[in-house]
Amino acid sequence: MLLRGLGAAFVVALAAVRNLQYVDSDSSALICCRRDLMLGNGQALSAGSYAVVVDKLFKSYGKFEALRGISFTVKQGEVFGLIGPNGAGKTTTLRIISTLLQITSGTVTVVGTDIGKHAERARKILSYLPEDAGAYKNLTGREYLQFIANFFEDWHDVGEMVARGVSIADLGERIDDKVETYSKGMARRLLVARALISNPKLAILDELTSGLDVINAREIRKIVKDTAATGTTVLLSSHNMLEVELMCDRIALINDGRIVETGTPSELKSRYSSSNIEEVFTKVVK
């Protein structure tokens, strides 16, 4: 597959964007919230209606416990925010859901697929954008998108995917320049395009706009919101509370490896008598 991808790296076919629609079996769930999830206790919980089901997830690095039995669900089509202080376990959680790290105990299901048992299957339907991700510098933006699209050629039209990626990145003529010549904002736009190119059922975005200027950050947020509107579930983490408030349908607060709060932004603000999520965050964490 890798060789095929490399071999086809210079063949680019332009095609119309295919706008895949995923069935949201419970669209009303966008405004629904559950403060305490009691998963694994015999209560029937259909994993099929959720894009992500995390149940009693533990993760240890040697003696250090990074995650201490976290549970939460993300409904299909939802934009779900995971927020917490540095070292709380956000990135570890996202990396586990992305199949990068192994589970110490507990289960994670992505659109009905148990990632502990079927990681390769899960990789076909999810996409992960790490906080400090990079692209291959010796490729042009278009070649990079082509390289990524080639991995999906068994179930997607590569030409359409590249065209979609070029459209999302919106880099104009610079899409044919080498990645090494890109500014940080341009590189991030390319990487966001990469993450959304396959129209994934679940997009996991770590610190989506970290280090970007206001204009770039706004544009990238809009891209993600537009993609979510087409049915892609988004799970993101951010230190930018304004971003979280603007983008997320629901939020989970994680601290010291545990989920300490879950709810919609308005619910959380009302619960903690706060005017914004930053205040909520401060009150919960302190």
Partner 1 sequence: MSSFTNIVKKELRELLTKSTILPIVFMALLFGSMGSMFGGVEEAITSKPVIGLVDQDSGVLSDIAADILMNASTMVYDGTDVQEGLETVTNEGGSALLVLPSNFTDDIMSGKPGTITVYWIMRGAGLMDTIPSTSVDNLLSVLSANLSAYLIETGTSLDASLVLSPTTRTQTTIFQGKEMSGISPSDLSAVLSSQSIMIPLVIVMIIIMAGGTVVSSMAMEKENKTLETLLTLPVSRTSIIAGKLVASAIVGLLMAAIYMVGFSYYMNSVTGSSNIDLKAYGLGLGALDYVLIGLSLFMSLLAALALCMVIGTFAANYKSAQTLTMPVTILALVPMFITMSKDFDTLPLLGQAVMFAIPFAHPMMAVRSLTFDDYGLVLAGIAYSALFAIVMIAIAVWIFKTDRLLTGRIGKKAGRSILKGGLIGLLVSRHRKT
**C-beta of 223: minimal distance to partner 1 in Å?**
18
What is the edge-to-edge ordering of all strands in the sheet holding 113-114? 64-75, 50-61, 105-110, 113-114
Residue 111 found at the interface with partner 1 (CB under 8 A):
no
**C-beta of 203: minimal distance to partner 1 in Å?**
11
Tell me if residue 119 falls in helix, strand or coil: helix
Among the listed residues 194, 201, 221, 250, the single contact to partner 1 using CB under 8 A: 194
- As a whole number of angstroms, the distance between CA 145 and CA 132 comes to 18
Handedness of CA 122, 124, 126, 132 (dihedral sign): positive
Residue 98 found at the interface with partner 1 (CB under 8 A):
yes
Strand partners, 252: 82, 262
- As a whole number of angstroms, the distance between CA 44 and CA 144 comes to 43
Give 37 or 182: the residue with its C-beta nearer to partner 1: 182
Give 102 or 282: the residue with its C-beta nearer to partner 1: 102
Residue 23 found at the interface with partner 1 (CB under 8 A):
no
**C-beta of 33: minimal distance to partner 1 in Å?**
29
| Dihedral pair phi/psi, residue 57, rounded to 5° | -85, 120
Sole residue written with tokens 């990626």:
165
**C-beta of 87: minimal distance to partner 1 in Å?**
10
Among the listed residues 152, 271, 278, 283, the single contact to partner 1 using CB under 8 A: 152
Name the one range near partner 1 by CB under 8 A: 43-51, 73-81, 128-136, 231-239: 128-136
Strand partners, 81: 236, 251
Token readout for 27 is 């669209």
Binding site for partner 1 (CB under 8 A): 1-3, 5-6, 61-62, 66, 91-92, 95, 98-102, 120, 123-124, 126-130, 132-137, 148, 151-152, 191, 194
